[in-house]
Structure 1
Amino acid sequence: MHLELISLVVDDYDPAIVFFTDVLGFDLVEDTALPPEGGQPTRWVVVRPPGAATGILLRRADNDELRSAVGHQFGGRVGPFLRVDDFDATYERMVAAGVMFVETPRTAPYGRVVIFLDIAGNRWDLLGPA
């Protein structure tokens, strides 16, 4: 058994795909058109870190309830935790790509850590070895 996907609500598919693939370096695993929901075209879009088993299903906010969830899926707390082998190189690459960080990197008992915002405004931890 494993966790295959988590869902993340975004404003629109294409900018989110660019953020996850070009900025974070994830792989675009699937991008399939689906039958319309409520008259709106929809897609099954999955991104995943290279070599990871768990992916993220990008869900476009196509109604008021979903639009209100964009950027608030984790109640203002850190939701996803992205672990990398080379913290400094990844951090520098993300800064150069314009990722918004809400603090400076710090060392915690579990390693190097810094909080960043995804394209929707959700908080993530970037984690690396101590």
Structure 2
Amino acid sequence: MRRIALITLVVDDYDEAIGFYTEALGFRLVEDAPRPDGSRWVVVAPGTEGGHGSGLLLARAKDEAQRGRVGDQTGGRVGFFLHTDDFARDHARMSAAGVRFLEEPRHEPYGTVAVFQDLYGNLWDLLQPSS
């Protein structure tokens, strides 16, 4: 079996990123381990797959070039897609938690969707796929 396990997301600060992803988006903290170089191995993931789904590796920017990419990892395009089985529930919970949605929910042939920003400005789709 092959799968994409982790995608790196460059962040300014480990703890603020953990707070946003776990509190505002409802992800779970999978791992937070110190590394010998002073950095941390921080993984967050949606759902309760017990490590079998995809996750985000939150990597603190190490230099000016990386800091320049924080919040713009995909050049202003939606780069992350959070699937849900209950759009209304998650949209309401995330909105109440302060997540900034850039549009009203819309219905497309592929599902119900709305674009939101993470705490750094990266664009995400909250998406409940059709059937």
TM over 0.5: yes
**Aligned position for 1:45:** 42
- What's the secondary structure of 1:35's corresponding residue? coil
Aligned to 2:32: 31
Question: Structure 2 CA distance, aligned partners of 1:78 and 1:89?
Answer: 22
Q: Give the TM-score normalised by the residue count of structure 2.
A: 0.92
List per-residue Cα deviations over 1:91-111 (Å, max 9, x = no partner): 010110000111111001101
Residue of structure 1 equivalent to 2:13: 12
Alpha-carbon offset, residue 88 of structure 1: 0.5
Q: Deviations over 1:47-87 (max 9, x none)?
A: 01122511100010121011000011011000010000000
Q: Where does the alignment leave 5 or more consecutive residues of structure 2 unmatched?
A: none
Letter in 1 for 2:39: T
Match status 1:71 vs 2:80: no
Q: CA RMSD, aligned part only?
A: 1.0
Identity of aligned residues (%): 55
How many Å apart are 1:129 and its aligned residue?
A: 4.0
Return 5+ residue gaps in structure 1 as ranges.
Answer: none
- Tell me the TM-score normalized by structure 1: 0.93
Cα distance in 2 for residues equivalent to 1:87 and 1:4: 24
